[in-house]
């Protein structure tokens, strides 16, 4: 049970005054599916975007606390964000293929990192597509525009694109919210398989999904981490009333 | 009963409204089509290989208009050399890099206002700065620089607009994968915006090619017996030549006047056509 990321007293306020994260303390456990769930506006996405400093692009008025990742303090202004983002990859809620070919999408991150050798790129593209269980479907369409793939394929492409960088952590923010049930099931199965090689942080798009995939689950409500537990504990025996109400579908 | 009456009335108003708007739109297109047809009809008889490739003779009352075509080509090229890199660079900075603060807003307002300045003011500014102060003399260089300043706001604004029309999700994805802003711009945003940028460049240059006032004091010559040999030579140019042969040459054959206007019109419409083709092609290929 190795702690890969340690969050200490994290507070985040947007410039419109909204307190998005309040006193969050939390560990991300390596080689597990770490799930954050709860109603919209609870702070889940803000937390993900703190991990890869994507919040730098948003209107953040104040952020305090510490996020430790290996030897790095993520929030330290001198932290190399480029290096950080290569190690903590992210998949977004709607599949966003870059307007390039399938091959170029997967090799994009490596090219950014300066890899030019064709053989290395070919190898990395195939590995990543196999990891995302997309290779068999697209191996003969590598030079087609990524937009020609179906929605479910596009999302696995986005996952493969992140995996190609061999990150330590893969974050997925409601990765199945734009997908049909079959594609959703494939992605969920995939995440469980990927645990062996990566640490996953997932914001699921509903409670059922959270319960299906969570190794560790945190329930977020209005910026606070209300309850946190290992395994299915949070869904079977929630300790707090808020959690219980949300898990049983009484609100949210 | 009352209800069906109402529906009939609404239908009638809809019919009248639609056709009225259609008629008005046709009327606005009429002058443009009229001008083009008229110029073509009157100018075509003047067009010949000799007209396009020979020097003027007999005090410009005969022969060709080669030096004016070459001159306008040089001026457009010179304008492109200065205004395209500067304009595109500034547009990229404003769209992709500039923080949203007081200074950026001031720069943007300055650029917008630059586009509203009358062209003769640019001409006088160019005379003061390039011709006299910097000592370039009445030359292709001075005129190109003057036209460049006039063209810059068009190129900057269209570049900025084209970049902003690229979905932000692409930037976020690229940055989230460890891309720098420059890598993101160079590999994703700029290529996607390129058709819009090129269209803006062409439209800006097209305006520069047709302008008279900015080159009047800075580079255009009434008549030159030979073609320009260096950027520091003055040159004849189509728009100014049209002004000259319409006002200052007694006994000018009307056919040559219309022919010259037609050549300028084709030059400008040709650029417009290229811009339209690029835009349509890009639109058909766009995936998002």
Quote the DSSP letter at residue A95. Answer: -
Count chain A–chain B contacts defined by CB atoms under 8 A. 59
B148 part of a folded domain = yes
**Tally of structural domains, chain A:** 1
Check A112 against B192: CB less than 8 A apart: no
> Least CB-CB distance to B178: which of A86, A100, A158?
A86
The average pLDDT across A141-157 equals 94
Q: Does B176 touch chain A (CB under 8 A)?
A: yes
B42 part of a folded domain = no
**CATH label of the domain that carries residue A111:** 3.40.50.300
Beta strands at A33-37 and A19-29: parallel, antiparallel or unpaired: unpaired
Q: State how far residue B152 is from chain A, nearest Cα, in angstroms.
A: 29
B120 part of a folded domain = yes
A42 part of a folded domain = yes
Quote the DSSP letter at residue B212. Answer: S
A252 part of a folded domain = no
B190 part of a folded domain = yes
Measure the CA–CA gap between A203 and A35, rounded to whole angstroms.
6
Domain, as residue range, for B108:
65-285
> Least CB-CB distance to A147: which of B172, B183, B287?
B287
Check B177 against A147: CB less than 8 A apart: no
Check A165 against B288: CB less than 8 A apart: no
pLDDT in tens, A221-233: 999 999 999 988 8
Confidence check: pLDDT of A16 > 60? yes
Q: Does the interface predicted TM-score (ipTM) exceed 0.90?
A: yes
Check A108 against B187: CB less than 8 A apart: yes
A238 part of a folded domain = yes
B28 part of a folded domain = no
Instruction: Quote the pLDDT of residue B286.
Output: 81
B160 part of a folded domain = yes
**Tally of structural domains, chain B:** 1
Substitution target in B169, B176, B190, B284 with the highest count of A β-carbons within 10 Å is B176
Check A96 against B169: CB less than 8 A apart: yes
Check B178 against A108: CB less than 8 A apart: no
**CATH label of the domain that carries residue B146:** 1.10.3720.10
Measure the CA–CA gap between A156 and A136, rounded to whole angstroms.
12
A14 torsion bin: left (phi>0), alpha (psi -120 to 50), beta (else): beta
If you measure CA to CA, which chain A residue comes closest to B288? A99
pLDDT in tens, A72-84: 899 999 999 999 9
pTM, two decimal places: 0.87
pLDDT in tens, B9-56: 999 999 999 999 999 999 999 999 999 999 999 999 999 999 999 999
Measure the CA–CA gap between B250 and B61, rounded to whole angstroms.
9
Q: Which residues contact B225 (CB under 8 A, 6 or more apart)?
A: B55
Residues of A in contact with B283 (CB under 8 A): none
B266 part of a folded domain = yes
A62's enclosing H/E stretch is: strand A60-69
B1 part of a folded domain = no
A200 part of a folded domain = yes
């Amino acid at each position: 049970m190795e702690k890969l990321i340690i969050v200490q007293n994290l507070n985040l306020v947007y410039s419109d005054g909204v307190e998005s994260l309040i006193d969050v303390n939390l560990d991300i456990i390596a080689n597990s599916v770490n799930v954050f769930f709860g109603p919209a506006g609870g702070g889940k996405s803000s937390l993900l975007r703190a991990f890869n400093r994507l919040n730098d692009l948003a209107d953040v008025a104040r952020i305090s606390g510490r996020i430790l990742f290996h030897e790095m303090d993520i929030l330290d202004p001198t932290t190399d964000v480029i290096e950080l983002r290569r190690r903590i990859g992210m998949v977004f809620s709607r599949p966003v293929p870059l307007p390039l070919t399938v091959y170029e999408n997967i090799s994009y991150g490596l090219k950014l990192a300066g890899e030019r050798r064709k053989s290395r790129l070919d190898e990395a593209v195939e590995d990543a597509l196999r990891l995302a269980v997309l290779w068999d479907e697209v191996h003969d369409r590598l030079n087609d525009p990524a937009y020609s793939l179906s929605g479910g394929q596009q999302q696995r492409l986005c996952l493969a694109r992140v995996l190609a960088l061999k990150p330590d952590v893969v974050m997925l923010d409601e990765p199945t919210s734009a997908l049909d049930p079959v594609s959703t099931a494939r992605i969920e199965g995939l995440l469980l398989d990927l645990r062996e090689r990566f640490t996953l942080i997932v914001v699921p798009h509903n409670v059922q999904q959270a319960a299906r995939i969570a190794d560790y689950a945190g329930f977020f409500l209005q910026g606070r981490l209300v309850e946190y537990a290992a395994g299915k504990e949070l869904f079977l025996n929630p300790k707090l009333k808020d959690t219980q109400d949300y898990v049983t579908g009484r609100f949210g | 009963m009352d209800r069906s009456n109402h529906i009939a009335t609404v239908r009638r108003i809809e019919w009248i409204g639609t056709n009225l708007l259609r008629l008005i739109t046709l009327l606005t297109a009429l002058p443009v089509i009229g001008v083009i047809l008229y110029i073509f009809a009157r100018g075509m008889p003047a067009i010949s290989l000799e007209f396009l490739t020979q020097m003027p003779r007999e005090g410009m009352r005969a022969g060709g208009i080669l030096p004016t075509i070459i001159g306008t080509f040089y001026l457009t090229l010179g304008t492109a050399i200065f205004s395209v890199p500067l304009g595109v660079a500034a547009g990229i900075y404003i769209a992709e890099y500039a923080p949203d603060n007081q200074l950026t807003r001031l720069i943007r307002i300055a650029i917008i206002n630059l586009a509203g300045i009358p062209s003769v003011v640019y001409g006088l500014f160019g005379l003061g700065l390039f011709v006299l102060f910097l000592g370039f003399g009445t030359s292709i260089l001075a005129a190109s620089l003057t036209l460049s300043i006039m063209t810059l706001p068009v190129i900057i604004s269209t570049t900025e607009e084209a970049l902003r029309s690229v979905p932000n999700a692409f930037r976020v994805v690229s940055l989230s994968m460890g891309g720098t802003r420059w890598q993101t711009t160079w590999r994703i945003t700029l290529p996607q915006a390129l058709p819009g940028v090129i269209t803006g460049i062409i439209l800006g240059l097209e305006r520069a090619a047709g302008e008279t006032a900015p080159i009047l004091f800075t580079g255009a010559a009434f008549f030159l017996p030979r073609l320009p040999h260096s950027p520091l030579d003055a040159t004849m140019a189509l728009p100014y030549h049209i002004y000259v042969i319409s006002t200052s040459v007694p006994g000018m054959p009307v056919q040559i006047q219309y022919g010259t206007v037609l050549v300028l019109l084709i030059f400008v419409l040709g650029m417009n056509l290229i811009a339209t083709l690029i835009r349509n092609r890009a639109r058909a290929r766009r995936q998002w």
